[in-house]
Structure 1
Amino acid sequence: GALFLSFGPTAWLLGTVPALLPFIGAVIVHRRIEASITRLTIWCDLKQDHVARMQLDWDHIPKTLPLPAPFDHPFALDIDLVGEYSVHRLLDTTVSAEGSRRLRDWLINTDPQMDVILQRQAQVRELVGASLFRDKLALNAALVSATKAEKWPGQQMLDWLAKDVDGDHLRPLLIQLAVLAAINIPLFVLDMTGVIGAWWLIPWSIYGVLFVTRGGELVSTLFQDATFLEDGLRTLNGVFRFLENGRFRRMPNVRGVVAPFLDEAERPSQHIKRVTRVVAGVGVRQNPLLGMLLNMAVPWDIYFAYRLHQCRIHLTERMPVWLDRWFELEALSALATFAYLNPDQATFPTLLPEQSTSACLFDAQGLGHPLIADAERICNDFQMPTMGSIALITGSNMAGKSSFLRTVGVNLALSYAGGPGMAQSLHTRLLRLYSSMRVNDSVVDGFSFFYAEVQRLQSLLAALHEADKRPLCFLIDEIFRGTNNRERLIGSRAYIRALAKGCGVGVIATHDLELVQLEHEISTLRNLHFRDDVENGRMVFDYQLRPGPCPTTNALKIMQQAGLPVE
């Protein structure tokens, strides 16, 4: 202040500006350092997240959205594709809610198509080898989300763009107001200079009435809409710019996914710049006095409302495409990351054409379950060689029968999603998947456990005999467990005979050793088993699938070890 009073404004500027430059520079450097720290922190979190997924450390694997499958879904609930400790959560590296949902939908798809799977496989294969690209995409996407625990809700942006806003009258209104302003301003100047009287009040009054009555409602939400749009685009800017500047020469299939970002004339960054300029103009309204003076002279708000409406129209056409491509890429990257983190176990399946000369419908070597840790996972070879093949698996409690059924189902679901299976090699036809494993009664609906089980098995059998459909792969854990032994055995025999006559293959786990005799009656049925042994008074399981019926049982041993009376 003393410098200003003593030497005038020029000296004050010459003295103050150089003194401020180091401060301004320090602020800029500080912001860059903060941004670098944020990005480095997210990068470290990504790597820790990868380690947690490799080790099945559920406490450190981010929770995914609650996206349950329909209650009557043919297989999703039985084989842990969705839920808290599920395949979906293990794979879900997406940041957007829609990317997560898309990955879930791929996993539980009931009608996989060969061309779609093969195209997705090609895209995922390319992404497996592009780990740096995937990590940078995840890094930029993570900056979009407010918190690591929340998925970015892309649907909010789409819903806002889809709102029915009547902006068609803005252009003629803008022209009318501009003409009135062009008349009013010269008249006002002439009045102020004493050349004429206050004739400007006439066009100015008309201008004010038109402004308030025809543009007031839209202008009232202008700042809110502009801010929402700018915030949404600013959060997406990092992801969109990364994809715009990506190099996809070695990823031709992925390039097809991101093609909308590579169009020079239609790149998101061009539209974001337009919106930024509009928002800057709208921002003048934050100063009430300046905003009022501007709008009294020229249709400032109406002009920027019109510009914002035009931006909205353009974005309504393009934003769904951009977001859809990003969601698609996120889901593909999730499958690729799963393959990348399991290089020794994950293998892309070979899909056999429906008219294949190979009789085998399913052939896996070293088949394992992705939700079992590496140190504990036991892999098995398994084939379903011909139409009508039924593998009847017997074994003791806890020997691994149910887990093996889920192993088959999960690997089929992964294969049909376009991702890798957990196997050394995997060949499969396209099969419809149907399971009956976790049947629940319902007090609300008045269903008993047995009735619910009968309904499920009836639906499975109906699906098996549907005409003009591809073969069914059924997974059944205990048939008619909700009734007595005698009727269960009679019903199970009849049901398995009906399964053998249908267009499909499958695996049945059972404790009923009497059912193994069906091997002599049904040529396509074969007996397999898991066994247990006793070492030092404790039961041990090797989880190896062996041919033939199970030679041992362990129910009485388990009861005895639990302290229950055994005769």
Structure 2
Amino acid sequence: MRKEVAAVFQQRADQFQEQEKQTGSKSSTVSWLRVLVFICGAGITYFLFRNYNPTAGIIGLILSYMLFIVVMRWHSRLNYTYTHFKLLRELNLEELDRLQGKLQKLDKGEAFTDNQHPYTSDLDIFGDNSLFQLLNRSITSLGKTKLASWLQQAALPAEVKQRQEAVAALTKPEQLDWLQHFVVMPRHHKHTEVPSSAFFEWLRENSLYKKHGYMKPLLFILPVLTVAAIVAWFYGFSGYIPGAFLLLQFLLAYRFRTIRDDYYEKSISIYEAMESYTRQMRHIEQHETNAALLTSLKNKLFYKQHKASEALGKLAGIIDFFSYRLSTLMAFFLNTILMWDFLWIYRIEQWRDQYLGQVEGSLEVLANYEALASIASFQLANPAYAVPEISDVPFEVTATALEHPLIFVSERIANSFTMQGAGKTIVVTGSNMSGKTTFLRTVGINMVLAFTGAPVAASQMRVAPAQVYTAMRTVDNLAESTSSFYAELKRLRILLNLTEQGIPVFYLLDEILKGTNSRDRHLGAMALIRQLHRRTASGLISTHDLELGAMEEELKGSVENYSFNSTIEGDKILFDYKLQRGLCRSFNASKLMQLMGIAIEE
């Protein structure tokens, strides 16, 4: 199946590469045409001015300028198309890298790492070789933050089903072009990690014209009077009047220089994002779908017959005009004569009053669409993955051919597994490196995928809603004078507190209490299992402590033993990585120590 999927991505990459070459060649031709139009226009205009009259020269200049603008815009569109094909090619090559496990260059989602989170650190949700790298296709802070929040917090069953339906709609064969075009649109623009919502929050709290009401009439009157006075001066009237108006404008600009700079710097910082969001929302507004969630999201982009894309486009246009101040000479004349900065600050505040509420809601729509597009792309890359069923049976986890999605080998070992009911504990024993910890992570990461609304690395899976909680990578902290054993105890204390809240908790505990002596470890682990048995919790515990296997007799029907085993042939230790019923009966620690040079007598 993976070979067929890889072939599709490679074919699309080759197709887009060919279109990229063709468009690039055409763009180069039009670029030379633009130069030719400029030279010919300048020559014709010069000829008309010299041999005829100024009117003919002006007409020639205007027509030449209009033709140049037409060719320039044509060239700009071709450049955009060329870049778009290039980005589509790169996206499909990126999909091939994901299939091969080459995740190093992809966004790790490090901003979302949290060692105190119930499971993200232990299950490699963020960071190097992480689930986020495998899932995320977004480059905007909106899309990345939304997807990260879905991975950090399980959705309600109804919401999971809505997302699954939306993903199914986006993964139809006829939707592939729409989906990939949507994914690469924001890649035309530079995006900062600071969310656009920060600008909108700042804009809501600041208002130049409400705080300084006298500025509004001055904005409309003073530039007109200044221009009129300058024109009058050309006709012989006193120069003191335009000088006074120019001085007044200069003083106003100086008085509000900090505010003007603040408005400009904050608005220009989101200009690229607004251009990107405008194109993306226009793409969504034109999207035809029957999926309930997608339809609901799309409808939110329309408000009183106003499209969200139009509202954002207007803001991008305002910021673009505002940016004319970047030219020092232009800024001097515009701000000294026309109060340029004040005009566009006024337009921004007008825009805020009319569109801000709609736009803030539309950004949430876009964030959801981007997160769904990431999950849909993940599903397209892994068509053999199953869409999990949300179970009504408490603590049910039933999976067939369950695999770890972050293990990239030609033949991954799959295990089938089932458990259900509160107060259940699966004790997984096994020799070193036999796969017991990886199995716990396999169960956990697929549960996270299921609760996100994503497909799971299995041929079938049923899972009941629960709060996943892990204790696997507890380490010491010198800054806090905390040993690894005490860090693990604190982690287990959080688990016990969590189970007191009445919510279903599914725990995955690896080698619990490994930092103490065998007697205390054994007593503590048994006490913990008994305590969890009486609460709204179930889960898996991996251990080398075979004595924990006796709990199966003590708590019949509530504790079950499973294991991973290995065999030793000469100096080789062989693993099958298959989950088996019962306690582990084969151990390899002595053999491993011998292979490392430690002289252990047989």
Pick the TM interval, shorter chain: 0.7 to 0.9
Residue from 458, 467, 474 that aligns with 2:507: 474
Q: Give 1:16 shift.
A: 8.7
2:125 counterpart of 1:81:
yes
2:452 counterpart of 1:417:
yes
Q: Using the alignment, how far apart are the partners of 2:222 and 2:79 within structure 1?
A: 50
SS of 1:421's equivalent? coil
SS of 1:473's equivalent? strand
Q: Using the alignment, how far apart are the partners of 1:172 and 1:215 within structure 2?
A: 13
Does the CA contact (< 8 Å) of 1:530 and 1:546 recur in 2? yes
Sort the Cα spacing of 1:178 and 1:558 in 2 relative to 1 into closer, same or farther, 3 A: closer
Sort the Cα spacing of 1:265 and 1:514 in 2 relative to 1 into closer, same or farther, 3 A: same
SS of 1:93's equivalent? coil
Q: Give 1:363 shift.
A: 1.3
Aligned residue number for residue 94 of structure 1: 138
Aligned residue number for residue 282 of structure 2: 241
Q: Using the alignment, how far apart are the partners of 2:468 and 2:123 within structure 1?
A: 11
2:576 counterpart of 1:533:
no
2:163 counterpart of 1:120:
yes
2:582 counterpart of 1:548:
yes
Aligned residue number for residue 391 of structure 2: 352
Q: Give 1:45 shift.
A: 0.8
1:315-358 deviation line (CA, Å, top 9, x unaligned):
432332222221211111112221221111x21221123xxxx4
Q: Give 1:205 shift.
A: 9.5
SS of 1:519's equivalent? helix
What amino acid maps onto 2:483 in structure 1? S
More divergent stretch after superposition (111-120 vs 177-186)? 177-186
Q: Using the alignment, how far apart are the partners of 2:87 and 2:228 within structure 1?
A: 58
The structure carrying a bigger helix percent of its residues is: 2
SS of 1:247's equivalent? coil
Residue from 529, 539, 546 that aligns with 1:506: 539
Residue from 372, 389, 395 that aligns with 2:430: 395
Q: Using the alignment, how far apart are the partners of 2:53 and 2:242 within structure 1?
A: 40
Does the CA contact (< 8 Å) of 1:158 and 1:319 recur in 2? no
SS of 1:435's equivalent? strand
Q: Give 1:193 shift.
A: 8.0
Does the CA contact (< 8 Å) of 1:126 and 1:253 recur in 2? no
SS of 2:300's equivalent? helix
Aligned residue number for residue 34 of structure 2: none
What amino acid maps onto 1:241 in structure 2? R
Does the CA contact (< 8 Å) of 2:108 and 2:126 recur in 1? no
Q: Using the alignment, how far apart are the partners of 1:187 and 1:414 within structure 2?
A: 69
What amino acid maps onto 2:216 in structure 1? L
Residue from 129, 145, 154 that aligns with 2:190: 145
SS of 2:111's equivalent? coil
Q: Give 1:40 shift.
A: 1.4
**Unpaired runs of 5+ in structure 2?**
1-42
Sort the Cα spacing of 1:384 and 1:311 in 2 relative to 1 into closer, same or farther, 3 A: same
Residue from 64, 78, 86 that aligns with 1:41: 86
Sort the Cα spacing of 1:494 and 1:214 in 2 relative to 1 into closer, same or farther, 3 A: closer
Q: Using the alignment, how far apart are the partners of 2:589 and 2:284 within structure 1?
A: 58
TM-score, normalising length: structure 1: 0.84
Does the CA contact (< 8 Å) of 2:303 and 2:358 recur in 1? no
Aligned residue number for residue 342 of structure 1: 382
More divergent stretch after superposition (5-14 vs 359-368)? 5-14
More divergent stretch after superposition (18-27 vs 538-547)? 18-27
1:158-214 deviation line (CA, Å, top 9, x unaligned):
4553452332256654335646777898899999989x9999789969976995698
2:216 counterpart of 1:174:
yes
Q: Using the alignment, how far apart are the partners of 1:17 and 1:374 within structure 2?
A: 65
Aligned residue number for residue 178 of structure 2: 133
Q: Give 1:561 shift.
A: 1.6
Sort the Cα spacing of 1:534 and 1:328 in 2 relative to 1 into closer, same or farther, 3 A: same
TM-score, normalising length: structure 2: 0.80
Q: Using the alignment, how far apart are the partners of 2:457 and 2:471 within structure 1?
A: 22
What amino acid maps onto 2:117 in structure 1? H
What amino acid maps onto 1:239 in structure 2? Q
Sort the Cα spacing of 1:302 and 1:16 in 2 relative to 1 into closer, same or farther, 3 A: closer
Q: Using the alignment, how far apart are the partners of 2:276 and 2:306 within structure 1?
A: 19
What amino acid maps onto 1:472 in structure 2? V
More divergent stretch after superposition (544-553 vs 330-339)? 330-339
Q: Give the paired residue count.
A: 553
Sort the Cα spacing of 1:216 and 1:488 in 2 relative to 1 into closer, same or farther, 3 A: closer
Q: Give 1:108 shift.
A: 1.9
Q: Give 1:394 shift.
A: 1.0
2:115 counterpart of 1:71:
yes
Q: Using the alignment, how far apart are the partners of 2:572 and 2:600 within structure 1?
A: 17
2:306 counterpart of 1:266:
yes
Does the CA contact (< 8 Å) of 2:394 and 2:464 recur in 1? no
More divergent stretch after superposition (374-383 vs 422-431)? 374-383
Q: CA RMSD of the aligned region, Å?
A: 3.8
Does the CA contact (< 8 Å) of 2:388 and 2:463 recur in 1? yes
Q: Give 1:385 shift.
A: 2.7
What amino acid maps onto 2:475 in structure 1? N
**Unpaired runs of 5+ in structure 1?**
none
Sort the Cα spacing of 1:533 and 1:321 in 2 relative to 1 into closer, same or farther, 3 A: same
What amino acid maps onto 2:156 in structure 1? Q
Q: Give 1:500 shift.
A: 2.2
Q: Using the alignment, how far apart are the partners of 2:223 and 2:497 within structure 1?
A: 75
Q: Give 1:4 shift.
A: 5.5
Q: Using the alignment, how far apart are the partners of 2:380 and 2:254 within structure 1?
A: 61
Residue from 357, 361, 365 that aligns with 1:325: 365
2:139 counterpart of 1:105:
no
Q: Using the alignment, how far apart are the partners of 1:231 and 1:509 within structure 2?
A: 50
Percent of paired sites with the same residue: 26
Alignment of 1:214-225 (within 5 A): none
Q: Using the alignment, how far apart are the partners of 2:424 and 2:204 within structure 1?
A: 51
SS of 2:439's equivalent? helix
